[in-house]
Amino acid sequence: MSKKKLLLIDGNSVAFRAFFAMYQQLDKFKNPEGLHTNAIYAFKNMLDVVMKQEEPTHILVAFDAGKTTFRTAMYQEYKGGRDKTPAELSEQLPYLREMLKDMGIKSYELANYEADDIIGTMAKEGAEAGYEVAVVSGDKDLTQLASDHVTVYVTKSGVTKLEAFTPEHMKEVNGVTPTEFIDMKALMGDPSDNYPGVAKVGPKTASKLIQEYGSVEELYEHVDEMKKSKLKENLIAGKDNALLGKKLATIKCDSPVELSLDDLKYDGSNVDDLRRFYEKMNFRRFLADLAQKGELTENKTEVKKQDYTVLSLDNLDQLPKAAEVTFYLGMFGDNYHLADFTGFAFKIGDATFVSRDVFLLQESPLKEMLEDPEVQKNVFDLKRTSYGLYRLGIKAEALSFDLLLASYLIDNEKNSNDLGELVQGYDYYDLKTDLEVYGKGKNAKIPEDDAVFFNHLAGKTSAIAALKQTMLEQLKDHEQDDLFDSIELPTARVLAKMEMNGIKVQPSRLKELENDFAVRLKDLEDKIYREAGEEFNLNSPKQLGVILFEKLGLPVIKKTKTGYSTSVEVLNQLKEKSPVVSDILEYRQISKIQSTYVKGLLDVIDEQDGRIHTRYLQTLTATGRLSSVDPNLQNIPTRTEEGKQIRKAFVPSDPDGYIYSCDYSQIELRVLAHVSADPNMQEAFKTGYDIHAHTAMRIFHLNSVDEVTPLQRRRAKAVNFGIVYGISDYGLSKNLDISRKQAKEFIEEYFDQYPGIQAYMDRAVKEAREKGYAETIMHRRRYLPDIHAKNFNVRSFAERTAINSPIQGSAADIMKIAMINMQKKLDELGLKTKMVVQVHDELIFDVPKEELETVKQIVPAVMQSAVQLDVPLVADAGWGHDWYEAK
DNA sequence: AATATCACG
DNA sequence: ACGTACGTGATATTA
C-alpha cells in the first residue's frame, strides 16, 4: 500500500488570500442571488493544484472558531486593531464549507483555539502515526511546524503558487530552524497579530540573536553579558514582550481536538452534490471539468461538434448575403507577414463555411463580400487578418469588431493571442487552443484530418460570434467603447498599413559596417586575450567572470544567481583597476551592435522589396504602448556613435527623398503636469521652459534658469524621470551615484516645490486600491491585484505601477490618436508620404522630395493637436537623407 | 527553456 | 525593516 498522506489546510487564511487574489474579479464572480463567489472559486483552484500535487489520502480544512481564544485571554490586544473581514468575503465562508462537504473534505473548528492549533495538533498526530504531512496556509506562522515529515506550503502571489517550507528552506530563508522561528517571532513581534516584540528588532537582528543564543530564554540568561549597546537596552526593556510573544507565537500541538485521523479519510467528491453546488454558484468552468471527468475514458477534451459546409468553386453561390459576418483567416505561425495560409471560415447567421483553399477568397462573391464596406466583419486580430488578405490581393473593408483588441482592453492580463485560450477566460469551453490542435515546437502541424481541422476553424468563428455581445457590454461597463472604436480599431488599421509599407534599408551600408566592426572586434579580442593571458569565450559571462574575478583577482561587486555579475554597471567600477576592463566594455558594445543590428537586420530585409517590415504588437504591453518584433525597430541604437551608424542604413524609398522624424518633447512629464494639475509644473510648460532646468532652479533654490549648472540639470532630470517611475530614494541614489540621504533630500525638495505631484501619487495609489486598477485619460485599465499584497515588495511594486501606468499609458493613448489623425491627413491630402515607424513618442516618415515642405507643415501640427491637455504638447522634427540625419 | 546582458523610450 | 526605479525585444550561452 502506498504511503499515507495527510493534507491540512488553514481555511481562513487561504480564503483570505483567495479573496484578494481575485479581488479585481469581485463583481464578475457573483451567483444569480448576488452572492460573491470569487474566494470560493480561487480556493477551489488552489485545492485542485494541491490535490494533484500531493495526492492526499486524508484531508482536513481547519477554521478559526471566533474572535476569543486562549491567546486573547492571555493578551487582550491579540489580533486587535485588524480591519474587519470584508462582508463580501465573510458571506462566502459558509458556502465554502458547503463545497468542502460536497467534495468529501472534512472541515473543523474548535472553540477557544485558532485553526493553527488544530493544524499543529493534527500534524503532530499524523507525523507520529507515520503519515507524510502537507500543510497549506496563506501566512508564514505555520512554518514553525516544518519537520522531516511535515512540509508547510505558503501561498505566493495569488493562491495557486505555493512556496514549500521544509526545515532546509526555513534555514535558507530565516537562518534558523522551524522551532527557532518561534523565538525569532517572539523577538520581532507581529504587527498583523498586534503584539509588539522587542523595539527595533526586525528579522535580521532577530535571526542573528537566535542563531547565537538558540532561544529567547537562553538569550535572556546571557543578556547581561552582552556589551553595552542600544540593542541590549531594548532587549532588557522588551523582555516581557518577548516572553509574551513566545507564548502567543507558539502553536499548541496538544489542543483538545476531537478528531481521529480516520475521520479525515478522503474518498473523493459526491459528484451530484458538487454539480448542484457549482450550478448554484454559477461555476461553469468547474461544471465543464465535471462533465469531462464523467467521460474520462474517451476523448477527454473533446469540444462541441460544429456544423459546417465545406466550400469549393462549385458551391460558392450558396453563400447567403448578410449585413454581418464572422470571419477567420488561418495562418500557420505568428509571423503573418510570411506565414503559410491554412484555410478560412465564415459564419453567417447560424451557417458556417470552411475551406483549406484560401484562393477561394479571391473569387466572387467572397472577395466582394470582404471588400464591401457595408458588410460588417467580426474577426480575431484585425491587423493580422487584414494583412493576410492584403497578401492575397484583397483590400478588406469594415473589419468592425476585433475580439483580440476587445479582450486586451477589458483585461490585458486575461488576454491571449490564442483564441481558444482567451475565450476560456470568458467561460467559453467549446474551442480548443491551437496548441492542443496543432501541437508544439517542431512537431506542430496542421491536422490532415478535415474533420478535426475544420471543426477547429469553424469553432473559432463560433467563439467570436458567441462572445461579441458580452465583450461589447463589458467595454461599455468600463467606459471603453470610445477607446475601442475610436482608438484601438483605427490604430490597428494604421499599423497594418505601416507594416505593409515597411522601411527601406540599404544593405550595402550594413555590409560596410559589418566589415569595419569585424576588424575592430578581432583586434579587441586579441588584445583582451593577451591581457588576460589566455583565450576564452568573451561572450560567456561565466568564463569572463572566472578570468576577471579569479584569475585577475578583481573585486567582486555584484553577484547574480548563477555567479559573478559582469554587467556594464560592474565593469565601469572596475575600469581603474585593470586596463582589460575597458577593452571588454568596448568589445561588448561593438559585438552587441554587430550581432543584433548589423547581422540581425541584414537577415530580415525583404528580398522582394528591399524593405524591413516589422510587426507591431498591439495587445501585449501592460500600459497600452506598442511593441515591435521581427525585428524590433523600437530599439535601434541612438546613444553611442557606433550604434547610431546603423541608422544610416535606413533610407527613403526615393534616392532624393527624405526620412522625416518627429518626436513629442517630454510627453510623459506633460501628461504628469496635466493629470496632477500641479500649478508650478503646468506653469513651467506653459512658459516653455526647459523643464529639467526649471526643476533644477526650483529644487536648488536658484533665482533663474541661467544659474543652473550642468550637474544640477542632470540631477533634476533624473529626479523628473524617477517621479514618473514612482520614485524611491534608493533608486535615485543609484542612478545618480549619490548618497541615499541626499537623494531623499532632492525628493523632499521636489515635493515641496511641486506639491501637486505628491498629491497625484497618493491619489493614484489610493484609487488603485479602491478600484483594483489604474486608468489612463482614455480609460485604458491596468489591474493591480498586488496593491493589496501583504508582502512589502510586491505591494510597493504595484504602487509604483499605479503611479506610472496612467502616465505611460496616457502618453501611449495620445500617440495612437496622433497616428490615426496623421494617416487620415495623409490620405486626405493624397500624399505619397508614408508613416513607417513608431518609437513610443516618435514617428518616422518616408517622404518624397517634393512633399517635404508639406510634411513639415502637417506632422508637428497633427501631433501637437492630438488631444487638448492643460499644458501644451510640443513635437520637434528633424529630416535628412537617412534616419541618422533625421535628428 | 532559463539566464545574463544590453539596445530603446 | 523590508529592497527598488517604469515599459519593452534580441542575442548568446548554458543547462
The DSSP line for A627-664 is: EEESS--S----SSHHHHGGGGGEE-SSTT-EEEEEEE
Residue labelled with grid coordinates 540573536: A209
Measure the CA–CA gap between A661 and A877, rounded to whole angstroms.
6
Neighbours of A371 (CB within 10 A): 14
CA dist A819 to A302, A453, A482, A778, Å? 44, 38, 16, 15
Residue A332 has pLDDT above 80, yes or no: yes
Spatial distance between the Cα atoms of A763 and A249, rounded to a whole number of angstroms: 37
Where is average pLDDT lowest: A167-181, A671-685, A830-844?
A167-181
Q: Check whether A300 has a pLDDT greater than 50.
A: no
A767 versus A218: which is more confidently predicted? A767
Q: Answer whether any strand B atom is within 7 A of the Cβ of A840.
A: yes
Closest residue by C-alpha to C1' distance, nucleotide C15: A562
A572 touches strand B (CB under 7 A): no
Rounded Cα gap, residues A431 and A527, in angstroms: 60
Chain B nucleotides close to protein (CB under 7 A) are 1, 3-9
Nearest to A139 by CA among A798, A795, A789, A796: A789
> Is the Cβ atom of A157 within 7 Å of strand C at any atom?
no
In one letter, which amino acid is A875? A
From residues 601-630 of A, which are strand C contacts by CB within 7 A?
603, 617, 620-623, 625, 627-630
Residue A160, CB, strand C, below 7 Å? no
Burial class from Cβ neighbours inside 10 Å (0-12, 13-18, 19+) for residue A91 reads middle
Secondary structure of A664-713 in HEC code, one letter for each residue? ECCHHHHHHHHHHCCHHHHHHHHHCCCHHHHHHHHHCCCCCHHHCCHHHH
Answer yes or no: is pLDDT of A523 > 60. yes
Angle, helix A710-725 to helix A792-828, in steps of 10 degrees: 100
| A60 against A233, higher pLDDT | A60
Would you say residue A198 has pLDDT above 90? no
DSSP state of A104: T
- Residue A297: pLDDT band (50, 70, 90) is very low
Of residues A46 and A699, which shows the higher confidence score?
A699
The interaxial angle of helices A667-676 and A710-725, nearest 10 deg, is 60
Q: Return the nearest residue to C8, CA–C1'.
A: A627
Measuring alpha carbon to C1', the residue closest to nucleotide C9 is A632
Residue A2 has pLDDT above 70, yes or no: no
Give residue A72's pLDDT. Answer: 86
Distance in angstroms: CA A646, C1' C10: 16
The answer to whether A776 CB sits below 7 Å from nucleic acid chain C is no
Torsion-angle region of A153 (φ positive above 0: left; ψ -120 to 50: alpha; else: beta)? beta
CA of residue A94 to C1' of nucleotide C9, angstroms: 48
Sign of the CA dihedral running A588, A593, A598, A604: positive
pLDDT tens, position by position, A233-284: 888 888 888 888 888 889 999 999 998 888 899 988 888 888 888 888 888 7
Cβ burial A557-585 (10 Å sphere, 16+ → b, else e) = beeeeeebbbeeebbeebeeebebbebbb
Q: Residue A83: its pLDDT value, please?
A: 63
The protein residue nearest B3 (Cα–C1') is A562
Does residue A160 or residue A523 have the better pLDDT?
Answer: A523
- Tell me the per-residue pLDDT of A636-651, one tens digit each, with 9 for 90 and over: 999 999 999 999 999 9
Helix (H, G, I), strand (E, B) or coil at A305: coil
CB count within 10 Å of CB A66 equals: 11
Q: What is the mean pLDDT of the segment spanning A811-819? A: 98
Per mean pLDDT, which range of A194-203, A532-541, A542-551, A623-632 is the poorest?
A194-203
**Is residue A146 predicted with pLDDT exceeding 50?**
yes
> Where are the alpha helices (H) located in A298-449, listed in sequence order?
366-371, 382-391, 403-410, 419-424, 434-438
Distance in angstroms (rounded) separating the CA atoms of residues A64 and A68: 10
Measured from Cα to the C1' atom, the residue closest to B8 is A635
Question: What average pLDDT is seen over chain A?
Answer: 91
Q: Does A365 sit behind a cis peptide bond, omega within 30 degrees of 0 on the bond before it?
A: yes
Name the residue closest to B4, CA to C1'.
A541
What are residue A378's DSSP bridge partners?
A: A326, A401
Q: How many residues comprise chain A?
A: 887
Tell me which residue has cell 516572553: A243
Whole-number pLDDT of residue A294 = 52
Which residue did the predictor score with more confidence, A55 or A354? A354
Give the pLDDT confidence of A827-868 residue by residue, as tens digits: 999 999 999 999 999 999 999 999 999 999 999 999 999 999
Query: What does the angle CA A722 – CA A723 – CA A729 come to, to the nearest 5 degrees?
Result: 60
CA distances to A89, A91, A114, A263, A871 from A65, rounded to whole Å, are 16, 16, 7, 19, 58
Q: Which of residues 354-413 of A touch strand C (CB under 7 A)?
A: none
Q: What is the DSSP letter of A597?
A: I
pLDDT band at A291 (very low <50, low <70, confident <90, very high): low
Q: Percent of chain A beyond pLDDT 90?
A: 67
Among A848, A853, A453, A878, CA closest to A662: A878
The pLDDT value recorded for residue A420 is: 95
Section A397-418 average pLDDT: 96
Tell me the pLDDT tens digit for each residue of A732-781.
Answer: 998 898 999 999 999 999 999 999 999 999 999 999 999 999 999 999 99
Return the DSSP state at A841.
S
CA distances from A651 to A141, A638, A884 (A): 63, 16, 9
Q: What dihedral do alpha carbons A792, A798, A804, A810 form, nearest 10°?
A: -170
Cell 467570436: give the residue.
Answer: A464
What pLDDT, on a 0 to 100 scale, did the predictor assign at position A298? 33
The SS3 assignment for A175 reads coil
Residue keyed to cell 510648460:
A685
Nucleotide C4 C1' to residue A230 CA (A): 29
Strand A376-379 and strand A399-402: the pairing is parallel
Distance CA A467, CA A403 (A): 8
Q: Pairing state of beta strands A58-63 and A5-10?
A: parallel
Q: Average pLDDT for residues A222-226, to the nearest whole number?
A: 84
- A 524-563: CB within 7 Å of strand C: 537, 539-540, 542-543
- Among chain A residues 76 through 105, which have CB within 7 angstroms of nucleic chain C? none
- Residue A671 neighbours by CB distance under 10 Å: 27
Listed residue (A170, A11, A190) closest to A89, CA to CA:
A11
- Going by C-beta distance under 8 Å and a sequence separation of 6 or more, which residues neighbour residue A98? A277
- The set of residues, in sequence order, having a beta carbon less than 8 Å from that of A209 and lying 6+ positions away, is A187, A201, A219
* Max mean pLDDT range (A22-31, A93-102, A435-444, A471-480): A471-480
Lowest mean pLDDT among A277-291, A301-315, A813-827, A867-881: A277-291
Q: Is the pLDDT of residue A28 over 80?
A: no
Task: Label residue A190 by pLDDT band (50, 70, 90).
Answer: confident
Give the model's confidence band at A410: pLDDT under 50 very low, under 70 low, under 90 confident, else very high.
Answer: very high
Nucleotide nearest to A625 (CA to C1'): C7
What is the predicted pLDDT for the residue at A520? 96
Q: In whole angstroms, how large is the CA radius of gyration of chain A? A: 32
Span of A158-162, A226-230, A669-673 with lowest mean pLDDT: A158-162
Is the CB atom of residue A260 positioned under 7 angstroms from any atom of strand B?
A: no
Kindly report which listed range (A14-23, A62-71, A604-613) carries the lowest average pLDDT score. Answer: A14-23
Q: Which nucleotide comes closest to A203 if you measure CA to C1'? A: C1
Query: In this structure, what C-alpha cell is assigned to residue A432?
Result: 480548443
- A191-205, A476-490, A600-614, A667-681: least confidently modelled range: A191-205
Q: What is the pLDDT of residue A73?
A: 85
> CA A514 – C1' B6 distance (Å)?
19
Distance A482 CA to C15 C1' (A): 49
Reduce the DSSP state of residue A7 to 3 states and report it.
strand
Decide: A109 and A280 in contact? Cβ < 8 Å. no
Q: How confident is the model at residue A216 (pLDDT cuts 50, 70, 90)?
A: confident
Give the rounded distance of the alpha carbon of A552 from its chain centre: 40
CA of A747 to C1' of C5 (A): 13
Angstrom distance, A126 CA to C9 C1': 51
A820 near A497, Cβ under 8 Å? no
Q: Which of residues 675 to 734 on A have a Cβ less than 7 angstroms from any strand C atom?
A: 718-719, 721-722, 725-732
Judge whether residue A23 has pLDDT over 80: no
Nucleotides of C under 7 A from a protein CB: 1-15
CB A409 within 8 A of CB A813: no
Lowest-pLDDT range of A61-70, A152-161, A395-404, A531-540: A152-161
Which of A22-26, A404-408, A754-758, A825-829 bottoms out in mean pLDDT, i.e. has the lowest? A22-26
Q: What is the pLDDT of residue A81?
A: 64
Q: Is the CB of A600 under 7 A from strand C?
A: yes
Residues 6+ apart with CB under 8 A from A464: A326, A328, A347, A378, A379, A380, A401, A403, A419
Average pLDDT of the residues in A623-632: 96
